[in-house]
Structures are given as C-alpha cells and as structure tokens.
Amino acid sequence: MKRSCSLLVATDLDGTLLGPGEAFTGEARTFLQKLVSLGALVVPVTAKSVWEIVVVWREVLGLAGEPLIAIAESGGAIYAPPGTLRSPTGYESELNLEYVEIGARLGEVEDAIDYVASACQGFRRLSKAGPLEASRITGLPPGRAAIAAKRRYLEVLWHPDQKCMEAAEARALELRLYTHRSTRLLHVGAHGGKRRALERLLIEPWARDCKLLVAIGDMDADEEMLEIADIAVHVPSNPEKRPARPVYRIPSPLPAPHAIAWIVERILEPRLPL
C-alpha cells in the first residue's frame, strides 16, 4: 500500500452498508466512492466469505477499480492484493488475493461443529449445502447462495425451531467457539472474531500510517471492533430490539443503505483533506 491513508474505515456489510437483500442505492455508492477518492481505505469486516465480498465489492458497491483488503468470515482471515501483507499464509489464485489465516479451518474443527449441530435433528449447515438449500438458508438467489456456501472458517447454521437454535448456541459457547446468533442464523467458528482480526491488520506498516481508525457496525458481533476505533458509528438495523448503545458511539439516524451518505457527509468528510 503505497498511497497515503487519511482514514482506515473498517465496516460491516449486511445491515451497515447494505440494506435488506444486499440493497444499495446510487446515492450511497456516490458517497462511498467519494470517501475512497479522498484517501480513505475502506476495509469490509464481515461474516461473508471472501468470494461474496468480491461480488459485493465489484458489482454492488461499484469499487471494482479499487484494491480490496477485507476481513472475511467474522475474523477467519485477512485478504489483500499480492505484496500487501507482510507474512501471508496463503494465496487464493481464483481471486488473486493473498491471505493471513487468523482462525482454524472448518475441517479442523469438524467434530466440534458436528456437536453443536447435533443439539437437535434437522440443523442445516451452509458450508455443506447445495445451491437450493443454501438459498433457503440465506434467503439469497441460488447462484449467490452457492457463493455464500463457499466457506473456510465460519459455519452458518439454521434450524426452524428457535429453541434448537438456543441449544446449539449454548453448545458453541460451551466449547468456547466464536459464536454469534442473528435473528435467523447461528455463526460458529474457531477464531477470535472481528476485533482480533482487525488488530492483526493494524500491525501492517501501511495500516499504522492511517491517521484515524473508523469502525462502523450494526450488530453485537461488531461491538468489540467498535471499541478499538477512534471514531465508532452504530447503524440502526433493528432499533426496537436493540439495547442502548454506549455513549462513545455515534448513532446514525439512518439505517442501511442510506447510513453511509450521512456518515460520510456529517462525520467523516470534515476529517478528510479537501
């Protein structure tokens, strides 16, 4: 990374940049691209796999011409263009990205994931699902769902019975796995979550040159990442069910995908060089 970095913006995707169904608006795209043009480095930090991130980055966010640095699968690995990371542990030739693994691969914790999923009969695992079943799990069209199913570090579990989801979550916590339960899904992996991966990213020499760390998120899974930021912004994804946020968070009055325009215009642009 040879260019100067005015801000490093670590942002969640679903519910933060992207609205329901990965919705994004022309206005949001304009403000995001303006943020990048002013020297901000935008780093997706998300539960999505790197293959999903690439699709969103190029086709939804409109940043195909910008180098992609991302933390995938809620902290499972950091991906970046070749030559970006000091000590990469692998190279994804399909995407031309090198990576540093932060967590164990799913195959290394198969017995633990099986134990979590055996809380009830009928659990579905996204990493083992075909396109149609993956579509039912994720709510995405089959083609996109098949990309979502390409996972290495974070399993996505689904069951129609919420009591079964609670039992599986308890088993995951018992094993001290990374665990996050959303409204419909349970995420389980053997790593330290988004904050630990972001802290690993911040030791890169080029990252230390960024003048401020901005973190943007909407879920409990983003909380620890927000805690280490110089500027932390909370995007309301489900306000009626959200607890009160700590006072040092800046609450966006707008949900995704409209939040990014407000964040750039009101919070970030005043801190960027003209």
Tell me the C-alpha distance between 46 and 156, whole Å. 13
Active site residue 12: yes
The token pair that represents 227 in the structure block: 């805690």
Between helix 110-117 and helix 162-174 the angle, nearest 10°, is: 150
Q: Residue 236 in contact with residue 225, Cβ under 8 Å?
A: no
Q: Residue 52 in contact with residue 13, Cβ under 8 Å?
A: no
Tell me the C-alpha distance between 169 and 180, whole Å. 8
Q: Residue 189 in contact with residue 156, Cβ under 8 Å?
A: no
User: Among 22, 260, 16, which residue's Cα sits nearest to residue 147?
Assistant: 22
12, 14, 218, 222: the active-site residue? 12
* C-alpha torsion sign, points 80, 233, 33, 4: negative
Q: Which residue reads 């980055």 in tokens?
A: 57
Tell me the C-alpha distance between 257 and 17, whole Å. 5
Which residues are marked as active site?
12
